[in-house]
Amino acid sequence: MMVYRFGWVLVLIICSIVRCRMAKGNYTLDSVRDVLVREEDSIIFGLIERAKFPLNANTYTQNYSNIPSFGASLLNFVVINTEAVQAKGGRYKNPEENPFFPEKLPPSLVKPYPFTQFLHAGASSININKCIWKFYIDKLLIQWFDSLGDDGNYAQTAASDLSLLQAISRRIHYGKFVAEVKFRESPKKYEPLIRAKDKEGLMKLLTVKSVEEMVIKRVEKKAMVYGKDVTLNNDDKKNETKYKVDPLVVSTLYKKWLIPLTKDAEVEYLLQRLD
Ligand SMILES: O=C(O)C(=O)C[C@]1(C(=O)O)C=C[C@@H](O)C=C1
């Protein structure tokens, strides 16, 4: 009986060591780039989901929502309340997650998970979601939906906006991890630029144009593959392909916004790296 019990204790100890090892993770430039590649899928599927609805402008205006004791749009309402529930469930304990309304979050109610402390101490203060929110509402939605369509599904629209915004935010803020890997690989190159607060120099040093071009081409191709209707007919009308999201919208989104904002997050992170 004693031997049996001892065996179980040993198994539990081994499991917790293995779990701890796994939680520690192993960050390399390849592994962080792999995360960005996987996030492309979430963003493209998020765009496909959002495209089920027209613009639904009432989702974004305070005048329409008119929610008692809440002076903002329905999107704000859905995001603030969903983030609050997810915060209680521990979402923002993961350093990869950054809330849109950090000032409104309740504390987590769940047992903490031992996430790897890979980033520098000040990393959590870098949150560029205000900027992401502004480009999403003022630029992306307006340029993407060229007509002012309305089908009344405002809450559903806000919910799909939120999951898309979260995927975009995760991608951009993952720049902190990319920057940390780059810094650890070549501290001697980064340190003088950080000390001199040379944003331009840092931007130049972390930029790899060939990788950016590959990302832009790949997301365009993914949008074609994921956004195509699947039928069982062999005679797919090749010339009449209609994508659920215009692949050009996806590549432009990456080129004009997601890559530049990821680089901004990288620079912001590096600037505080020696504090
Ligand atoms: O892969 C990198 O090295 C990154 O820093 C990420 C990223 C991107 O946003 O995709 C940003 C800057 C580089 O110029 C290339 C790509």
pLDDT in tens, 147-174: 789 999 999 999 999 999 999 999 999 9
Which residues, including other chains, have CB under 8 Å from residue 101's CB and lie 6 or more apart?
A: 79, 80, 83
Which residues line the pocket of ligand 1, CB cutoff 6 A?
A: 33, 36, 178, 206-208, 211-212, 215, 259, 262-263, 266
Instruction: Report how far residue 172's alpha carbon sits from residue 175's, in angstroms, rounded to the nearest whole number.
Output: 6
Ligand 1 atom with the smallest distance to the CA of 259 is 9
Distance from residue 263's CA to the centre of ligand 1 (Å): 7
Ligand 1 atom with the smallest distance to the CA of 36 is 10
C-alpha pair distances (Å), 164 with each of 133, 170, 241: 11, 10, 24
Three-class secondary structure of residue 72 per DSSP: coil
Pocket test for ligand 1, best of 37, 43, 262 (most atoms within 8 A of CB): 262
Read off the pLDDT of residues 4-14 as tens digits, 9 standing for 90 and up: 666 666 655 55
**Can you read off the two tokens belonging to residue 53?**
């609805």
Q: Is the ipTM of this complex over 0.85?
A: yes
Distance from residue 132's CA to the centre of ligand 1 (Å): 18
**Can you read off the two tokens belonging to residue 16?**
């917790």
Instruction: Report how far residue 93's alpha carbon sits from residue 89's, in angstroms, rounded to the nearest whole number.
Output: 9
Ligand 1 atom with the smallest distance to the CA of 178 is 5
Residue 110 reports pLDDT greater than 50: yes
Distance from residue 122's CA to the centre of ligand 1 (Å): 21
Higher pLDDT, 153 or 65: 153
Pocket test for ligand 1, best of 132, 206, 209, 254 (most atoms within 8 A of CB): 206
**Can you read off the two tokens belonging to residue 68?**
């008692």
Instruction: Report how far residue 239's alpha carbon sits from residue 257's, in angstroms, rounded to the nearest whole number.
Output: 31
User: For the chain, how many residues are written?
Assistant: 275
| H-only helix segments in the chain | 2-24, 29-50, 62-65, 74-88, 129-135, 142-144, 154-173, 175-185, 187-195, 199-206, 209-226, 247-253, 259-271
Residue 128 reports pLDDT greater than 50: yes
Ligand 1 atom with the smallest distance to the CA of 182 is 3
Position of tokens 């989104």?
253
Read off the pLDDT of residues 202-240 as tens digits, 9 standing for 90 and up: 999 999 999 999 999 999 999 999 999 988 887 656 556
Instruction: Report how far residue 88's alpha carbon sits from residue 92's, in angstroms, rounded to the nearest whole number.
Output: 9
Range scoring the smallest mean pLDDT among 21-25, 72-76, 81-85, 124-128: 21-25
Pocket test for ligand 1, best of 39, 190, 211 (most atoms within 8 A of CB): 211
Position of tokens 């559903």?
156
Domains in the chain, please, with CATH?
Answer: 23-271 (1.10.590.10)
Distance from residue 232's CA to the centre of ligand 1 (Å): 39
Pocket test for ligand 1, best of 169, 212, 214, 264 (most atoms within 8 A of CB): 212
pTM of structure: 0.90
**Can you read off the two tokens belonging to residue 140?**
């992306």
Residue 83 reports pLDDT greater than 70: yes
